[in-house]
Amino acid sequence: MNRRLIYVVGPSGAGKDSLLLWLRGQAGGQRALHWARRTITRADTAGGESHEGVDSPEFERLVTSHALALHWRANGLRYGVRHTELAPLAQQRWVMLNGSRAHLAQTAQQYPGMTVLHITAQAQVLRARLIQRGRETLAAIEARVERSVDMHAPAGSRFIEIHNNADLATAGQQLLQALQALEGWPVDAVDR
């Protein structure tokens, strides 16, 4: 059952959100694939992924009440995933979850055998994308690029790595092929 959890990780600037959005567009309304919605300590209206925005006191209440199956800190924010977002695993559905490299080992302990999807890009591509965003200083960007080291999945996990160095459609097709090669992947999960 845990092999159906696809835990997405990768460095800032790799285009994880863009690639997942591309894949989601291909998947349409397929019921065999659930896109886990994260709870984040930022406004619902903030750019990027669709998420549940909460303030810090509410997030802490969710943690202490055990409402979150997973939670971590990254980039000055707190991230969580409600139990209900992972419940489709028990129904033999696939779950796509945008996670955190720093939380990978802990998630692998909770969900042994999960599938790790590492979306990455060459250092110069990461740097250019982060500069184009304009959210951070050059020193902060260099620190992020330095952290984009090679990674491997925890023991017992499947590992898929996609290099998103060029156009989105090329990386998207590579991702599509890798997912379709997974044992048990529904043939029509992404059929466009």
> pLDDT tens-digit profile of 85-116?
999 999 989 999 999 988 999 999 999 999 99
Q: How confident is the model at residue 71 (pLDDT cuts 50, 70, 90)?
A: very high
Q: Does residue 150 fall inside a structural domain?
A: yes
pLDDT at 192: 37
Query: Does 191 score more than 50 pLDDT?
Result: no
> What is the pLDDT averaged over residues 6-10?
95
Looking at the structure of the chain, the number of domains it has is 1
Q: How confident is the model at residue 63 (pLDDT cuts 50, 70, 90)?
A: very high
Q: Does residue 55 fall inside a structural domain?
A: no
Q: Does residue 72 fall inside a structural domain?
A: no
Q: What percent of the chain has pLDDT over 90?
A: 57
Q: Does residue 121 fall inside a structural domain?
A: yes
pLDDT at 104: 93
Nearest to 21 by CA among 11, 39, 8, 32: 8
Give the CATH number for residue 6: 3.40.50.300
CA torsion 10-12-17-22 (nearest 10°) is -80
pLDDT at 73: 92
Q: Which tokens belong to 189?
A: 């999960």
Q: Does residue 64 fall inside a structural domain?
A: no
Q: Does residue 57 fall inside a structural domain?
A: no
| Structural domain harbouring 11 | 2-38+86-180
> How does the average pLDDT of the chain come out, rounded?
87
Per-residue pLDDT of 156-165, as tens digits, reads 999 999 999 9
> What is the pLDDT averaged over residues 28-53?
78
**Predicted TM-score of the model (pTM):** 0.88
Lowest mean pLDDT among 36-40, 42-46, 70-74: 42-46
pLDDT at 29: 56
Q: Does residue 187 fall inside a structural domain?
A: no
Q: Does residue 47 fall inside a structural domain?
A: no
